[in-house]
Structure 1
Amino acid sequence: MFFFLVLFFRITPQVFCLTLYVLTCLYPLPEPQDLFQASQMKFEDFERDLRKLKKDINACLGETEKVCKVSSEENLQPFKEKMEDFLTQAKTELETQEKQLADTQKIFLELSVSFSVKPKAGEKEVSPNTFFSVWHEFSSDFKEHWKKQNKLLLQERVKKAEESFKQARQKATYNVTTKNATGIVRHILFFFFFPTFLLFLTREDDAV
């Protein structure tokens, strides 16, 4: 397949290896920047935001009830129906977010225990900052070494590709030369024996 791409599309081994490297060589760990952002998160902030959202929904519910009380029956719809649908959906989504946050916090604490991470002084529980800061440093250092090793591997691949490409070109040149030589021999044999064959046929006709 490699020889086909190189010979047919006339791409160099370097371009082929670089393309293959980009397509197949993916960093195996979370990106350091993602881990850094995770370390800045606080469960308390999410809980506070959800409490504020719940307070806003309750305030919206109270205002809706006030409007419905002072409005006549002919003016209630479609306001009442639309607001009821909106508030029902808002409460459902809020409950879903609260459950997801609680589940995430539980999984995070279990993960911290499995890695034997202890809370820092002044913390009741392991915080995302404590846990992900360690992983951020590890991933940053690992990525630097990973880049260096991949650069060396890429250089080796390019070198092997150049050697394979060189051998393929030599083989292709050899095959073409052999084919041309065979064609020349066939032409020589044809032009040498064909007149003799015609002369033989002529003599046979004269004899008859």
Structure 2
Amino acid sequence: CSFYRIIAEVFYHILSHIICDAGKEQCIFPLSEPQDLFQASQMKFDDFQKDLRKLKKDLRACETQAGKVYQVSLEEHIQPFKDSMEQFINQAKIDQENEEKSLTEAHKSFLETAAYFCVKPKMGEKEVSPHAFFSIWHEFSSDFKDLWKKENKLILQEKVKEAEEVCRQKKGKSLYNIKPRHDSGIVRTDCIIIIIILLLLTFSFSLFFLHFVCTLS
């Protein structure tokens, strides 16, 4: 449990400091899905090779059967069947060769990858099988995804709390800076300005009135 907790803490650090979308809905699981790895572990290169050999055998049989049809068909009836079949068979041979080449390259890359991760064949096996290799990664990805969901949820909760705290602080500052208003909705400073203007007008009117009285005298 303590070891698992250490792994969880390391994972939390990586998730919160390295993965920029951590805690967000668009945060994408960075590994292959456990289900995909499980399906990969069920593959066998021998089965693929057998399937390709069977396809090659069926293609030869198809070519032989088409040749028999050419021989028994009248010249005026042989087209466009002959051209279509020859085109189909030639393209099928090309596709067959490409698939065999791709399988050989994939098999080679798989063995190189297994050697890179120091995975060795089991007792009695000539080489590492996809089941032996991908089963390890399937287990790792499953545990990783469980931690991913838990820690991502915790980070999301922390970000929500931080956002709420920021809003609370901003709200407190805005309430502190709001100036009291009268029932009429006018801010006190505006009232003071209006009073000063009225006093100035009153003073000006008083001066004008005194000047007018002096003039009459």
Find the counterpart in structure 2 of residue 45 from structure 1. 47
Distance 1:69 1:173 in 2: 98
| Superposition map of 1:148-187 within 5 A | 148-174=150-176, 177-178=178-179, 184-187=187-190
Gapped regions of structure 2 (runs ≥ 5):
1-20
Secondary structure of the 2:187 match is: helix
Q: Please report how far the alpha carbon of residue 44 of structure 1 lies from its aligned counterpart in structure 2 after TM superposition.
A: 0.6
Q: Please report how far the alpha carbon of residue 141 of structure 1 lies from its aligned counterpart in structure 2 after TM superposition.
A: 2.3
Contact 2:52/2:100 (<8 A) preserved: yes
Gapped regions of structure 1 (runs ≥ 5):
1-17
Comparing 137-146 with 104-113, greater Cα deviation is found at 137-146
Q: Deviations over 1:154-179 (max 9, x none)?
A: 2222211211122233344445x249
Distance 1:144 1:161 in 2: 26
Secondary structure of the 2:77 match is: helix
Q: CA RMSD in A?
A: 2.9
Q: Please report how far the alpha carbon of residue 45 of structure 1 lies from its aligned counterpart in structure 2 after TM superposition.
A: 0.7
User: Cα gap change, 1:113/1:20 in structure 2, threshold over 3 Å: closer, same or farther?
Assistant: closer
Question: As a proportion of its length, which structure holds more helix?
Answer: 1
Which of 24, 27, 32 aligns to 1:21? It is: 24
Higher-Rg member (1/2): 2
Find the counterpart in structure 1 of residue 71 from structure 2. 69
Aligned residues: 189
Give the aligned residue type for 1:139.
Answer: S
User: TM-score normalized by structure 1?
Assistant: 0.77
Secondary structure of the 1:74 match is: coil
Q: Please report how far the alpha carbon of residue 46 of structure 1 lies from its aligned counterpart in structure 2 after TM superposition.
A: 0.6
Identity among equivalent positions (%) equals 50
Comparing 128-137 with 177-186, greater Cα deviation is found at 177-186
| Superposition map of 1:169-208 within 5 A | 169-174=171-176, 177-178=178-179, 184-199=187-202, 200=204, 204=208, 207=212
